[in-house]
Amino acid sequence: MSMRRRLVRVLARPLVLAAAVSALSAGSTAPVAADSVVIGGFPVEASDSPWTVALSSRDRFGGTRAGQFCGGVAVGHSTVLTAAHCLGKEVLGGPPERVSDLRVIAGRTNLLSGRDGLEVAVRETWVNPAYDGVSNVGDFAVITLAQPLPAGSAIAMAADGDPAYAVGGGATVYGWGDTSGAGEYSNSLRAARVRVLPDALCEDAYPGGADGTYDARSMLCAGEVQGGRDACQGDSGGPLVAQGRLIGLVSWGIGCGRAGNPGVYVRVSDIIRTLGWTRG
């Protein structure tokens, strides 16, 4: 079974079950570093990255970790970006508008014990109609919130040509996802420092296959050449930030933190271009 199918299966089940399923199916992948959001990460406070939000449905994913199943990023007071696959039928079991308790959780570091921050209802979802679940091209969606987030929650997006996209530059990815590659979802927000990698690395790693095809125009390659630090399952839709601006959304990869399989992100400049957004 391809990693992509496996991810979808993991996401489509309650997390307790998901951990078991993921551990069982992890046998075919190389082990990742034990200390490996996010793999190889460190704890952060939501107040220090207020644009990092969690997508939640307790009905579908269980209430233990407040129903978290994906990440997202606030780019306006009522606008959140996430991955298209996070709002797909394979994850939600149907169209997003049928998930009546779909919420965005903002300003909460710990999803297990925290009651702080805000849980905001979703007014509208727009899933990129051009998203291709085979190549993974166009893996982004826009959520409009029913209420605005606190002032200062949104992060600026890096437009085409922004130096934040420079290859070799440092970037940070945030999320509540798997910290080991074995279905150990984090209760608390974590971040990992990675690097923007040459497109050629991801073109070589992902020339086209069951997991996806790297497309330099719409995707961004990031991680560590030697592996170790990476996003992982449950981090999808969350932010990749460089020089204080949003450059990517967690999208896909093969395994997590493996040498030769960098993380693939949605290139934010392609979202801006596709939506015809002007820089705010």
Output helix, strand, coil percentages for the chain, rounded to the nearest 5. Answer: 20, 30, 50
Place of tokens 């990992």: 192
59 belongs to the catalytic site: no
Give the span between the Cα atoms of 187 and 121, in whole angstroms: 21
Query: Which residues between 236 and 265 bind ligand ARG (CB under 6 A)?
Result: 236, 250, 252-253, 256, 263
> Given the rule CB under 6 A, which of 29-37, 50-58, 74-82, 234-242 is the region that contacts ligand ARG?
234-242
Please, what is the minimum distance in Å from the beta carbon of residue 151 to ligand ARG?
Answer: 29
236 belongs to the catalytic site: yes
Query: Which residues between 9 and 68 bind ligand ARG (CB under 6 A)?
Result: 11
Burial class (CB in 10 A: 0-12, 13-18, 19+), 232: buried
Of 233, 246, 248, 249, the one binding ligand ARG by CB under 6 A? 233
Please, what is the minimum distance in Å from the beta carbon of residue 112 to ligand ARG?
Answer: 19
By beta-carbon proximity to ligand ARG, the closer residue of 65 and 76 is 65
Q: How many CB atoms lie within 10 A of CB 43?
A: 12
Rounded to 10 deg, the angle between the 15-25 and 3-11 helix axes is 160
139 belongs to the catalytic site: yes
Please, what is the minimum distance in Å from the beta carbon of residue 222 to ligand ARG?
Answer: 8
Sign of CA dihedral 181, 256, 195, 189: negative
Token duo for residue 216: 């330099």
Bridge partners, residue 240, by sequence = 173, 248
Please, what is the minimum distance in Å from the beta carbon of residue 98 to ligand ARG?
Answer: 20
By beta-carbon proximity to ligand ARG, the closer residue of 76 and 212 is 212
Give the span between the Cα atoms of 63 and 44, in whole angstroms: 22
228 touches ligand ARG by CB under 6 A: no
Bridge partners, residue 105, by sequence = 54, 119
Residues that bind ligand ARG (CB under 6 A): 7, 11, 177, 230-236, 250, 252-253, 256, 263
Q: Please list the active-site residues.
A: 85, 139, 236
